[in-house]
C-alpha cells in the first residue's frame, strides 16, 4: 500500500475542486484525489500546526 500525505498549510478545503469548489484552482490535487481517499471530518487536537501534525501521524 502506498500513501501520499499532502500537508499544505493555509489551503482550505472549500477552495479545492475535489471538495466541490467551482473554480479550477487545484487541478493536480483534484486528479490525485479522484482515485484516492478524501477526508471530510478531521478534528484538530491542538491549534498550533506542529503539535496537530504530530498527533495526526502518531495518534
The residues annotated as belonging to the active site are 49
Q: Provide the H-helix boundaries in the chain.
A: 27-34, 49-58
**Long-range Cβ contact pairs of 18-25 (< 8 A, separation 24 or more):** none
6: which 3 cell numbers? 499532502
Amino acid at each position: 500500500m502506498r500513501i501520499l500525505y499532502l500537508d499544505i498549510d493555509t489551503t482550505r478545503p472549500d477552495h479545492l475542486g475535489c471538495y466541490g469548489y467551482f473554480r479550477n484552482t487545484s487541478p493536480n490535487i483534484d486528479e490525485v484525489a479522484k482515485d484516492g481517499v478524501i477526508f471530510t471530518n478531521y478534528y484538530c487536537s491542538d491549534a498550533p500546526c506542529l503539535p496537530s501534525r504530530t498527533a495526526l501521524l502518531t495518534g
